[in-house]
Chain A
Amino acid sequence: MADRRPLRGPGINTFQIDAARKVHARTVQARIPQAAASAASERFISPSPPTTSAVRRLVPRHVCNSPNNPPCASCGTMIVPSPAATLPLQDCPSMTINNWTISTRKKPILNSQELEDWENNKLKGLTLPEMIFGNSYVRIENTLHGWTLEFNALDALKQVKLADCGIRVSYSKKWMDSKQQKQAQRSSSPTEFEVDDSSLKIAHHYDWTYTTRYRGTEESKDQRYKFTRDDTQQLPLDKLSRPDHILFYDDMILFEDELADNGISILNVKIRVMDERLLLLNRFFLRVDDVLLRVIDTRVCVEFDENKVMREYKEMEGDYKSLLANHRISHSHDPKAALRDSNWVAQHAPVVSREYETLNFD
């Protein structure tokens, strides 16, 4: 910027504050639902016609808890985003419907100090993934019954096994063979520079794919509130496919690792809250190039009026080559693009296991 004036004295200058305000306003605006909602309603052909209750209520019943919330389309209150008093900016939107409070928080990746703490204490023995959004979360809370379901990176990573997962990158065998040959040559004609045999051993085992079967962290003051399993049931897909007005939406990554460019391992959680219910999708997606694809989905649906929580857990896994063969749009310039799309993989990879649970509050 050419017109930037030099800073005078200590403290934050007004330009920075102004810039911070603008960034903040943009972040907040990004959550305004109208534009996306109207686009979505064009895309969707609703399977069941919206009932009268699905039509936007005249008197809204939800409450925006944070002044950082977008101007609320339903209650009509225009909330001017106030400049946050502290830098860096915190963004913790939250809303309440009946006795259900939904909140999210998005923060940057862990810093070195936090990483050290996680590595030495909280997750001892695990070589951590490259990017951990360890201070972010999505939380669903029933304030009346003191029950919480939260999705965060720490608890997800606690479920990563500290043992050999048995998966190797596609060129591992070739790589090992050539290294072994080289070592054999070296031992027959020793040079001044020696490498001992340990170089072809794995120093410490952990599941480097970071596969986690995490279904959220439950906290309950009352032991009665537990999920009961019943795999015969289904999520109310017809109601969920209705383009009901979205009151609250967020989408965040909890952790991500690019597996040294051998694919991707990523845990993502997103949530949308409508007037009558909410849907949360916690998705683990793994792609090991030329080896395998894996999707582990946890869906949580809350019916606000029935005070009912449903949770569906699903594992899908497929061999890379057979899934690629399955993808018939081979005239596209990049047929492998589909394998980078977790939605495509989730729809096409065989289901390995499925569980369904419910929890009813009286």
Chain B
Amino acid sequence: MNVDRIISLLRQAKHISEETVYTLCLRAQELLMNESNVTRVDTPVTICGDIHGQLHDLLTLFDKSGGLEKSRYIFLGDFVDRGFYSLESFLLLLCYKLRYPDRITLIRGNHETRQITKVYGFYDEVMRKYGNSNVWRYCCEVFDYLSLGAIVNGQVFCVHGGLSPDIGTIDEIRSIDRKQEVPHEGAMCDLLWSDPDEVDSWSLSPRGAGFLFGKNEVDQFLARNDVELIARAHQLVMEGYKEMFDGGLVTVWSAPNYCYRCGNIAAVLRIDDNLERQYTIFEAVQPQNGVGNPIIPTKKPQMDYFL
């Protein structure tokens, strides 16, 4: 299996055979299996938020931020669903992981689960592209091995969603058995799902499940673990990033013009050796086909005689 060749095919959004995907996923699993729940990463590093199958924007992201040859990357999850190239985006990241294992860290997002991908597009995309769900199943197996977080120079804690009342210290995350479908409750679920909000203490979401946490919880977590910043993704931000709680937490969003209609900007966060934060923002590109004609993604006809 020639990873470089697959990378070049994926960058053009070309079809990858089912057997190749199988081999790729198997090898990725072997690699990810040996990573801990919270991966240690050194600076300088570029932290990236949700991608959601927007392959062309993922390519722009690498373009604008230097690329893997020059920089290390942490992806905070939500590689799939919603966009039209979930499979290619996820496989491209896996190929990079195989090709440059020390330069890229992949963290699991709440969309990297069987249940969510069945509803929000990834499953349908695979069915459309392959006529069966095998490729989806292979990818889901890989999801179960993705890390739950990362820590940059012991100073920046990276996670997809947020904090959990069951997690006081980062070491407690290390004891979670992560190799499973994300459960509906418990620490693993909270890390992937919870949101920061202007609340005085841990509180329950009005939906009846899921936690909200505020400045107090963030301050306590930072002090207890001796870290400076929590970098998370999970929520759409028009400007691409949003710092909260006196800079103790940042939301990074890397899918420009989300769902091809929000008109938002995307951002990545670079942490240099002095732990200085530098945001690079970028906009959506018009996807093009092989001969340079624009592809206008659309899910429904432009006009209909609705009643």
Contacts and interface: CB of A to CB of B under 8 A. Distances in A.
Interface of A: 19, 22-23, 26, 30-31, 33, 36-37, 39-40, 43-44, 88, 107-112, 115, 127, 130-131, 164, 167-169, 171-172, 174-176, 178-179, 182, 191-193, 195-196, 198-206, 208, 237, 240-241, 243, 246, 249, 251, 253, 258-262, 270, 272, 279, 281, 289, 333-334, 336, 340
B116 A127 contact: no
Nearest to A281: B306
B228 interface: no
A253 B208 contact: no
Nearest to B193: A260
B238 A202 contact: no
B199 A199 contact: no
A1 to B, nearest CB: 9
Contacts of B118: 334
B201 interface: yes
Nearest to A237: B307
Contacts of B201: 196, 198-199
Nearest to B201: A198
B290 to A, nearest CB: 14
Interface string B90-130: 00000000000000000000110000101110011001000
B238 A109 contact: yes
B205 A208 contact: yes
B286 A112 contact: no
Interface stretch (B35-43, B259-267, B270-278): B259-267
Interface stretch (B25-33, B139-147, B150-158, B296-304): B296-304
Given A203-B212, A272-B306, A112 B239 contact: yes
A279 B304 CA distance: 12
A227 B126 CA distance: 50
B190 to A, nearest CB: 10
Given A31-B303, A182-B166, 9 more contacts: A26-B294, A112-B238, A127-B197, A127-B206, A198-B203, A208-B206, A260-B205, A289-B119, A340-B119
A110 B237 CA distance: 10
Contact of A279 (B127, B197, B307): B307
A240 B119 contact: no
B210 interface: yes
Contacts of A43: 305
A44 B306 CA distance: 11
Contacts of A237: 307
Contacts of B209: 168-169, 171-172, 175-176
B184 interface: yes
Nearest to B168: A193
Nearest to A299: B307
The 8 closest A-B pairs by CB, nearest first: A108-B263, A168-B208, A172-B208, A199-B202, A203-B203, A193-B168, A36-B303, A175-B209
B9 interface: no
B262 A205 contact: no
A115 B304 contact: no
Contact of B303 (A19, A33, A112): A33
A262 B261 CA distance: 21
A175 B238 contact: no
Given A26-B296, A127-B197, A130-B235, A36 B185 contact: no
B66 interface: no
Interface residues of B, number: 57
B218 interface: no
7 contacts: A40-B305, A108-B238, A109-B236, A164-B206, A199-B204, A201-B204, A204-B199
A130 to B, nearest CB: 5
Interface of B: 110-111, 116, 118-120, 123-124, 127, 133, 165-166, 168-169, 184-186, 193, 195, 197, 199-212, 224, 235-239, 242, 258-259, 261-264, 286, 294, 296, 301-307
Contacts of A172: 207-209
A37 B204 contact: no
Contact of B264 (A109, A171, A251): A109
A260 B305 contact: no
A60 B111 CA distance: 52
A189 to B, nearest CB: 14
B204 A200 contact: yes
A168 B242 contact: no
Nearest to B288: A1
A243 B236 contact: no
Nearest to B286: A23
Given A127-B197, A279-B307, A262 B202 contact: no
A88 B184 CA distance: 42
Contacts of A127: 197, 206
Given A23-B286, A107-B263, A169-B209, A201 B306 contact: no
A169 B303 contact: no
Contacts of B303: 31, 33, 36-37, 40, 246, 249, 251, 272
Nearest to A280: B306
Contact of B261 (A40, A253, A272): A253
A241 B305 CA distance: 7
A203 B197 CA distance: 10
A198 B124 CA distance: 40
Nearest to A235: B307
Contacts of A115: 238
B137 to A, nearest CB: 13
B83 to A, nearest CB: 14
A332 to B, nearest CB: 11
